[in-house]
Each structure stands twice: as C-alpha cells, then as structure tokens.
Copies of this chain bind each other. A is one copy, B any other.
Amino acid sequence: MLYYEDLEVGFERTFAEQYQVSEQEIVEFATRWDPQPFHIDRNAAETSIFGGLVASSAHVFCIYVKIGNTEIDRDKVTASASALGFDKLQWHAPIRPGDTLRNGYRVVQMRESRSRAELGIVTVASRMFNQRDETVFTLECTFLVHKRPEAEPPA
C-alpha cells in the first residue's frame, strides 16, 4: 500500500486493472439507473448523436470506483481511509460496447489533517482511458490517507 509519506505532488500511477464493458452490461445498467434511448436501445442509439449505444455517465463513474477497488498491484493503491468528495467530473468521449478501460491518477494537492495526526488529505486528478489511449473520463478525488503505521518500515 502507498501511505501518505509515499506520496508527493506530481506522483503518478496507472492501475494494472483493466475493465472491458459489454453491450449487455451497458443496457442492463442504464435500464436500471439511466434509461435514455442511446443507452438502452440499439436502434434508437444508431440515429442519436452518438451513432450507437454508449455507456451512461453513472455507469462510467461506477467502473471508475470498481477499478480502484479491485486493483491487485498494491503498490499502486493508496491507503485510503475515506473519500471526502469528488470534483470536476467530465466525460470526454463515448464508451462503447467492447471498450477496455483503465485508470491512472496524479497527486495534485496534499496536506496533513489538522484534527487527526494519523491521516493526511490528498487530492488526485484521475483519468480513465480506453484501448486507444483516448481519455474518456476525468475527475478529481479528495480523500483521507493513512500515514504509515510506526511498526511498518518504508516500502
């Protein structure tokens, strides 16, 4: 795990985890949460401005959360205690059936918590990109990060 002491402004990582999204998943997710024609109806989607089915923005946010949770390469994962908020969510390009998605992040701000000595507050700029390295989704996430326990030596 990456503790607060392992991070600095400008620190960058790309998760190893990849996520491939299927047509069935796009339709099922949107049918439940965001039932707009260009997410759930292939024919309607083809005549829409997207020219085909695209994933709901809520679905994309869930994939972002999922990739952060399932990353197995632990030296890419920060020792997060809790997310404090998300900012600047923007969807830059459509995500279509069969696309394979990955996430990267860069630390843009960090400081020690004033109220809890064992925690820091870190903001990262995250980027989701597809198999052509096109940026599809960006956001900033601010979260509480544990400092390294005294018993544990530096990585």
Total copies of the chain? 2
A interface secondary structure, majority: mixed
**B-binding segment of A4-12, A62-70, A99-107, A115-123:** A62-70
Question: A41 near B: Cβ within 8 Å?
Answer: no
Closest B residue, CB atoms, query A59: B62
A27-54 to B contact mask, C-beta < 8 Å, 1/0:
0000011111000000000000000000
Q: Looking across the interface, which residue of chain B has its beta carbon closest to that of A65?
A: B58
For A69, the chain B residues whose CB sits under 8 A away are 33-36
CB distance from A52 to the nearest CB of B (A): 16
Binding site for B on A (CB under 8 A): 32-36, 56-58, 61-62, 65-66, 69, 83-91
